[in-house]
Structure 1
Amino acid sequence: MANINEKICIIGAGPAGLSAAMYLEQKGYFNYTILEKEDHVGGKCHSPHYNGRRYEMGAIMGVPSYYAVHDVEEFCGITHDGPKLNRNYKNLKGKVIEPFEPKKNPLKIPRLLKMRKQLKVFGELLETKYKGYDVNGHRGVAEGRYDGYAVTPGREKISGENPNLKDLALPFKEFCELNGVELVQDIWIGPFTSFGYGYFDEIPAAYVLKYLDFQTTMNFVKVNLWTWKEGTQYIWECLNEKLRNRARLNSDISSVERHDGKVFVTVNDEVEVYDKIIVTAPLQFLPNYFDATEEEKELFSKIDYERYDVLAVETKPENHPEISYYIFDNMTPERYGHLMVYYRRWKDSVDQVITTYALRNHRGKRTYKTSACKKIVLKDLEAMGNAASKVVNEKNWYYFPHVFTEDYAAGWYDKVEAMQGMNGTYYAGEIMSFGDMDETAEYSRELVDRFF
């Protein structure tokens, strides 16, 4: 039976941790503490100020199917009131192109028509052959099961058997080839690889499709996007203000020990005692400060992550882009380290920064140093005709923790899920679902529903 008076520690005040607190409150749990090591909340939703306006160094946007984010909006009394985003495309020489417009690409008409046909087939396959593919989280997928909540406004509880779901462990490239829809990668790559989530020849299809389910992808294609005037960080700042117990910032956790039915957390050199702990911080590093079990050490050592670098740069007025641009030619494994997309957030002024995005790693290849990647990106920006005059901010993100095909297929997620609640410990955050703010918040909702 649930004990709403349990003392609960939540590690991390990003979307996963703060939303876990919100959902706990909604179930009557108020005896919780959120510990955050940084001096601000929001995690990868990071929106600094520049000349009186905020820009995005992390998450940029949402879509109408971000139901957990909408839960937060309703809880806080806010809405998505930001600038309308749009984009265009350039080739490697900086020439504006329209890759999906047949009239502009007569030589590509056969490929574009084939892609559209495959897109229709793909949508049907996902609804039939891969029923349950879009359920939040990964529980049961490697065993050919789905168990969770539907991606609908009502988020109905659904479960079932579907052996075809085992295919989701394949790299997305192989998954598409298996199903004869390899050209849909041209559509999915924009909101996936350029957003820092890796390359289709290495990332399991499960991650791609749980983030970019069919309806979410179509929202990106149609530019049916949500933004927030004060940035994505504002969502989580508002939630932190609204919660009964605000996050304790600058919390340095040096150790977590679990014994005698309690959890002992040493934070800023003081020991605090809890009944349960929810970890939304990166599980890859949990053994560094937890009394980790051998199973925790083994499983969490399998986690890898993307090295995703973001620059905020000024340009001279004559070099400022009139819109955001995607560079598809730089979204291939052969061009890792190069500029994939750059964003202009506000239409009404050139007195703003633009932000650039690049991945500097690929499995089996050397990882570029941050300094080397920065040089490549700035050179690419110059080739695009939008040379930077000054770098005003940069972030080198620990991004999109994940496991690879062999561990996914071997049941990594079911093994971790089987540990939920052991030693009073619960695992949430990016690795348990996906790296975007809605998936992590949605997983926290499900975690609270299942165990509290």
Structure 2
Amino acid sequence: MDPARSIEDQFSKLHPCLPVNTRIGIVGGGPSGLSAAYALCRLGYKDITLLEKRRTVGGMCESVEIEGKVYDLGGQVLAASSAPVIFQLAKETGSELEEMDSHKLAVIECSSGKYQDINVADDYVSVMSLTLDIQEKVKNSDRIGIHAISELASDLSPEYIERHGLKFVPKSVAYGYTASGYGFVQDMPYAYLHEFTRTSMAGKIRRFKGGYTSLWQKIAESLPLKLHCNTEVLALRRNSEGVTVTVKNSDEVHAMEFDKIIISGNFPLKYGRTYWSPPSACIEQETEVMDVSDLERELFSKVETNDYYTTVFKVKGLEDMPVGFYYFTEFMEDPGTIGNPVALQKFYADTDIFLLWSYGNSGDIKGPTVTKLAIKAVEAVGGKVQNVILQRRFKYFPHVSSQGISIFNGFSILFSFTK
């Protein structure tokens, strides 16, 4: 959507291309699935069903209440002018936002527990001219997001940066990118880092007072759709007449019929791989959930996702640490340290609840190892873990390599001539 125009104006000029009573199923109740449902409802479609595996919507924008306070386990912040659609949805649903001015950003040393603020503003200013130059080159491309800049910035970030006059990716940018779950900058095409930089420098940072999940719950409640939570998709089969989805809900298995299907979020496919997984890592999904064409199989096989963990501890000994987000220098710059936490977060001044953010690899580094290494990091900076409250693994940030971006561009050109 065009961020320069209001949502109402954009929808007023769109019309359904299918009969409004088309039975549409959406698999996944995270931000993408709910956004699809929102758009379809605004266009006038009247038979929309959303299937969500977990107990509530929200996906990777999950919030939980711990000891009377709300913590965001996945997505949590918005830059003031980088997410106009989200801000519009917040306004529509009466979702209150709060600024995170007091939430400091610092690097912390495991060996000593000492922390030091980083020069976020200066670091982002140093790449601003490059960011603006890229945006200027693609402003009339009729493409958006990564697709718009993929051909221009498909090289790996260190090579791209050096070729454009910078010795390295500034620390705040690199650490912010990695701590957000997008991978290590040396592994990523600069196109992804550009999108992160472009949106991160867009004003004050805010979060939802009631947690990010609250926004998506309000959106789901406001839409005329059939919402099925605690519903796992076991099989999805397509044919010329429609789609049959076999689901499990409350230990009961039954089939649901749709005319069209939208696949959203972390759908279990056998293709693709996990970021930094060992060659011997087993495919987690033994059965084929969805029938796929040869072209779809080829596309999906190019995609990587990140195993990104949020581990929540009750910690003693760090009571004097200010509210903030702390980057572990030792584990930020070397992908070989995957499993160790890249960041530690203290949400509220008057609690002893801490969040640690780590990468896994679906092979030899999974939840128990991540927890063990996170405890070790907390102890190294002077804390003592009293309790492991919870842990979440998000299959996060589906992306492709520099070579993969070129392949996807080829497919997009092919589609433009054949659709």
The question of a shared fold, defined as TM-score above 0.5 by the shorter chain, is answered with yes
CA RMSD of aligned residues (A): 3.1
Distance 1:196 1:134 in 2: 28
Task: Tell me what 1:340 maps to.
Answer: 342
How far is the alpha carbon of 1:284 from its aligned partner? 6.0
- Aligned to 1:79, which of 82, 93, 96? 96
Distance 1:265 1:360 in 2: 31
Task: Tell me what 2:13 maps to.
Answer: none
Shift in CA distance, 311/410, structure 1 to aligned 2, threshold 3 Å: same
Give the TM-score taking structure 2 as reference length. Answer: 0.80
2:79 and 2:201 in contact (8 A); partners too: no
Task: Tell me what 1:261 maps to.
Answer: 241
Distance 1:278 1:77 in 2: 28
How far is the alpha carbon of 1:20 from its aligned partner? 0.9
Secondary structure of the corresponding residue to residue 127 of structure 1: helix
- Aligned to 1:181, which of 161, 166, 177? 166
Task: Tell me what 2:395 maps to.
Answer: 398
Secondary structure of the corresponding residue to residue 45 of structure 2: coil
Task: Tell me what 1:161 maps to.
Answer: none
Distance 1:246 1:321 in 2: 46
Task: Tell me what 2:266 maps to.
Answer: 282
Task: Tell me what 1:41 maps to.
Answer: 57
List gaps (5 residues or longer) in structure 2: 1-16, 272-287
How far is the alpha carbon of 1:400 from its aligned partner? 1.2
Task: Tell me what 2:201 maps to.
Answer: 218
Which stretch of the first structure deviates more once superposed, 82-91 or 336-345? 82-91
Distance 1:265 1:407 in 2: 30
- Aligned to 2:367, which of 367, 370, 373? 370
How far is the alpha carbon of 1:261 from its aligned partner? 3.1
- Aligned to 2:156, which of 171, 174, 177? 171
Secondary structure of the corresponding residue to residue 231 of structure 2: coil
1:313 and 1:390 in contact (8 A); partners too: yes
Does the alignment pair 1:127 with 2:118?
Answer: no
Query: Counterpart amino acid of 2:117?
Result: E
Secondary structure of the corresponding residue to residue 271 of structure 1: strand
Distance 1:230 1:36 in 2: 21
Distance 1:82 1:129 in 2: 33
Shift in CA distance, 78/135, structure 1 to aligned 2, threshold 3 Å: farther
Secondary structure of the corresponding residue to residue 230 of structure 1: coil
Secondary structure of the corresponding residue to residue 393 of structure 2: strand
Aligned residues: 377
Give the TM-score taking structure 1 as reference length. Answer: 0.75
Secondary structure of the corresponding residue to residue 340 of structure 1: strand
Does the alignment pair 1:95 with 2:79?
Answer: no
How far is the alpha carbon of 1:83 from its aligned partner? 6.0
Which is helix-richer, 1 or 2?
1
Distance 1:32 1:417 in 2: 31
Does the alignment pair 1:387 with 2:363?
Answer: no
Shift in CA distance, 408/241, structure 1 to aligned 2, threshold 3 Å: same
1:85 and 1:225 in contact (8 A); partners too: no
2:151 and 2:406 in contact (8 A); partners too: yes
1:83 and 1:227 in contact (8 A); partners too: yes
Secondary structure of the corresponding residue to residue 188 of structure 1: helix
Query: Counterpart amino acid of 1:166?
Result: E
Task: Tell me what 1:201 maps to.
Answer: 186
Residue identity over aligned pairs, in percent, reads 23
Distance 1:41 1:124 in 2: 36
How far is the alpha carbon of 1:138 from its aligned partner? 4.0
How far is the alpha carbon of 1:116 from its aligned partner? 7.5
1:87 and 1:326 in contact (8 A); partners too: no
Secondary structure of the corresponding residue to residue 127 of structure 2: helix
Secondary structure of the corresponding residue to residue 35 of structure 2: helix
How far is the alpha carbon of 1:58 from its aligned partner? 1.3
Q: Deviations over 1:19-44 (max 9, x none)?
A: 11111111111211001111211101
- Aligned to 1:57, which of 55, 69, 73? 73
2:231 and 2:247 in contact (8 A); partners too: yes
Q: How does 1:419-434 map to 2 (within 5 A)?
A: none
Distance 1:315 1:117 in 2: 36
1:342 and 1:357 in contact (8 A); partners too: yes
Distance 2:32 2:22 in 1: 20
Shift in CA distance, 117/77, structure 1 to aligned 2, threshold 3 Å: closer
Task: Tell me what 2:284 maps to.
Answer: none
Shift in CA distance, 376/274, structure 1 to aligned 2, threshold 3 Å: same
Task: Tell me what 2:4 maps to.
Answer: none
Shift in CA distance, 116/394, structure 1 to aligned 2, threshold 3 Å: closer
How far is the alpha carbon of 1:8 from its aligned partner? 0.6
Secondary structure of the corresponding residue to residue 285 of structure 1: coil
Which stretch of the first structure deviates more once superposed, 390-399 or 201-210? 201-210
Q: Deviations over 1:405-427 (max 9, x none)?
A: 111112268459939x99xxxxx
Query: Counterpart amino acid of 1:54?
Result: V
Distance 1:417 1:33 in 2: 32
Which stretch of the first structure deviates more once superposed, 48-57 or 266-275? 266-275
Which stretch of the first structure deviates more once superposed, 406-415 or 272-281? 406-415
Shift in CA distance, 84/360, structure 1 to aligned 2, threshold 3 Å: same
Distance 2:237 2:102 in 1: 47
Q: Deviations over 1:185-208 (max 9, x none)?
A: 323213210111101111222222
Higher RCO (CA 8 Å, separation ≥ 6 residues): 1
